[in-house]
Amino acid sequence: MQHSLSDTAVGTRSDFSVCLASAADRPIEESLAMLRRIGADRFGLLASTMSRQGWARSVDAVRACGLSADFIAGGVNAMADDDAGWSTNIAHLQRSVDAAAEIGAGTVCFTSGGSGFLSWEDAASAVVERFAPLVEHARRSGVALAVENTMSIRSGISFVHSVSDAAELAGLLGVGLCVDLYSAFQERGLMRTLADNLDAICLVQIGDHRVQATSVPNRWVPGDGQLPLERLVREVREIGYTGVVDLELLGPAIDAEGDESALARGLQWMRTFVP
């Protein structure tokens, strides 16, 4: 059944959220006003936006907006042997956890960082120790952590390029999963992996892709690309996932259209095709 924007009026909880990655350079107050205009009631935002525009200002804006923050997305851009870089990144993620607790967001999503010259197994062992203070901080704060899978082209921020590898690392860390279908649509045994790790999934993200694209970020509005998103989201629901599906859009096509128009169309697609 197709839904109109009025079907998900502000103040009515839905199963859909909108990530503000495409609006990262807007003042946060403007981004939140945009969400209200397109009828979104749940959202996620980038830790980098909050840090750049001021943590206190960002927290105050979210608290005043009347919408529900579901997650803050951060990450690690340090290689496994970069002590100074890891120290900075972990401190930033710990502040993200604090902000999530302040605004009532249940999850902080993060990338694994790069492996450098290490094998996957050695990198995983190294980051378990690196992430230990963050995991403990999040546990004390009552905020869930979720490892996100990424495309292999993003090796500077992650060595976790499949959901199965993300699930392996999440198990080692004792945290949850942020599943990006955009990055995993061709993964072998994807739904089996999701079913086997269903209780760990904190968030499922979508965005469309065109197979000729070789740069990142380069997402399209669902329905504008070539991913089998209708099948993927149907199968995700069929295995028993009942949580939030998040729309993450950014890149040249989104910039050319304008983020408000693109996000509005993407949200309408979700209302039409996500069970």
Q: How far apart are the first and last CA of the chain?
A: 9
CATH of the domain at 229: 3.20.20.150
Q: Determine contact, residues 127/169, Cβ cutoff 8 Å.
A: yes
Q: Is residue 6's pLDDT more than 50? A: no
Quote the number of domains for the chain: 1
CA distance 54 to 56: 6
CA distance 176 to 161: 16
Average pLDDT over residues 237-256: 97
Q: Is pTM, for the whole model, over 0.95?
A: no
Question: Which residues on neighbouring strands pair with residue 108, listed in sequence order?
Answer: 72, 145
Q: Determine contact, residues 78/85, Cβ cutoff 8 Å.
A: yes
Pairing of strands 16-19, 176-180: unpaired
Q: Is residue 238's pLDDT more than 80? A: yes
Q: So what's the pLDDT on residue 232?
A: 98
pLDDT tens readout for residues 126-169: 999 999 999 999 999 999 999 999 999 999 999 999 999 999 99
pLDDT tens readout for residues 179-231: 999 999 999 999 999 999 999 999 999 999 998 888 888 999 999 999 999 99
CA distance 220 to 177: 23
Average pLDDT over residues 49-76: 97
Please give the residue range of the domain that contains residue 197.
5-273
- The pair of structure tokens assigned to 212 is 């000729």
Q: Is residue 12's pLDDT more than 70? A: no
Q: So what's the pLDDT on residue 209?
A: 95
Mean pLDDT (the chain) is 94
Average pLDDT over residues 89-106: 98
